[in-house]
Amino acid sequence: MIDFEFEPQALKQTLMYHTVAERMMRPISREYDEREHEHPWDFWRTMWSASQNLGPAASGAEKPSKGAAGAANGAPKLRNLYTCLSTEELCWGDAGLFLSIPNPGLGGAAVAAAGTPEQKARFLKRFGEGEPKWGAMAITEPGCGSDSAAVTTTATRDGDHWVINGTKIFCTAGQMSAEKSEGFVVVWATVDRGAGRAGIKPFVVDHHTPGMTVVRVENKLGIRASDTAMIVFDNCRVPADHLLGSAEVKPTGGFKDVMATFDATRPIVAAMAIGVGRAALDFVRDYLTEHQVPIRYGISPRRLTAIERDFMDMEAHLKAARLLTWRAAWMLDMGMRNSLEASMAKAKAGRAVTLITQKAVEILGPIGYSRKVLVEKWMRDAKINDIFEGTQQINLMIIARRILDYSSKELN
């Protein structure tokens, strides 16, 4: 049975994250939106220091615990659900700054999903010590976006090393992971073109590895405080034991590890969207209250004004997305397969935040479209949640396949 009555400690931490969002992120939100490629080092160092004090679970890179057994081993029983709570609060502050915070990121999620116990300990240990560092995942290519199974980057075995060749784009925190810290980039490459999806394997490429070059950092519509990089791998040699998991090509392997990573990260992206949507909704509510425009609950819909109907619709979308997200995260914490639920949460939240932020700009009129307030920024930040970690269309297709029990060949 799903129970979302949170423990006092979780509620206390949620309040702490909200304080960080309100007092540390909001004041610099506009500044680092406009100064896209400059780095908020004071904020980063503070967040890094806090994560070290909170312990390894704060990194979000550990393997999800499985129910009571996980809790008995000392891991938080609802770690993924609590991560969604903290993510919502921090993205209420600023989604771009949230994505820029030093942590294992998508690279750490890939290690947790596909790595051996020894690899998880080896690669994730570094995020519990030293200076701020980042992890990134490189999967999208210039000719391969939504169809992640079509990657053309290759990894060829050469003695005790793998040699990686290819180009990756839209790598979140790619520059910070590859060049600016002692982090790593997890690169998905094919070891056997003839094997199709089964031949795709993840490789950990350490920072400053020869042959890995950040050739461009994107200028973006939103989440501008977070770097998004294009990385070229030119005869990039990595040790053989940097291949996560087994090198054996099996029909059930390869791409399955990619999907396992997304099952863990899509609820977090959904929580990001909810945080941005809540920021816009809160602002509109306060603005209407300030201007003595009431929102009357409990009366006939026919008596509601257009603004009241729009506002209640925004609230309903946000609450539905939040419940779907919590369910997907809770299932992961319980060791249950959540592929369907993760895609449902991601699809709903991505669509909801786009609708909510656009409607917020519309309701506020000229001030909503101006740069005097952050609402127009939230509308720009919102759209990425409907794109990365699987576009709206891809997630809807996954949902249809899971519900109808169709294969990708039967429904594409």
Q: Are 201 and 190 within 8 A, CB to CB?
A: yes
- d(CA 330, CA 137) in angstroms, rounded, equals 24
- Which of 209, 206, 232 is closest to 134 using CA atoms? 206
- d(CA 398, CA 412) in angstroms, rounded, equals 9
- Which of 247, 212, 244, 216 is closest to 122 using CA atoms? 244
Instruction: Please tell me the predicted confidence (pLDDT) of residue 119.
Output: 96
Q: Which two tokens stand for residue 300?
A: 């006939």
DSSP of 97-146, one letter per residue?
A: HHHHSSS-HHHHHHHHHHS-HHHHHHHHGGGGSSS---EEEE--BTTBSS
Instruction: Please tell me the predicted confidence (pLDDT) of residue 230.
Output: 98
Give all domains of the chain, ordered by start, each with its CATH number. Answer: 8-103 (1.10.540.10), 135-242 (2.40.110.10), 255-404 (1.20.140.10)
Phi, psi of 393 (to 5 degrees): -65, -40
**Which residues are tagged catalytic?**
389
Q: Which residues of the chain, if any, have pLDDT below 70?
A: 1, 54-76, 148, 252-258
Q: How far apart are the first and last CA of the chain?
A: 34
Instruction: Please tell me the predicted confidence (pLDDT) of residue 252.
Output: 64
pTM metric for this prediction: 0.91
Q: Are 94 and 26 within 8 A, CB to CB?
A: yes
Instruction: Please tell me the predicted confidence (pLDDT) of residue 69.
Output: 34
- d(CA 13, CA 126) in angstroms, rounded, equals 24
- d(CA 309, CA 288) in angstroms, rounded, equals 14
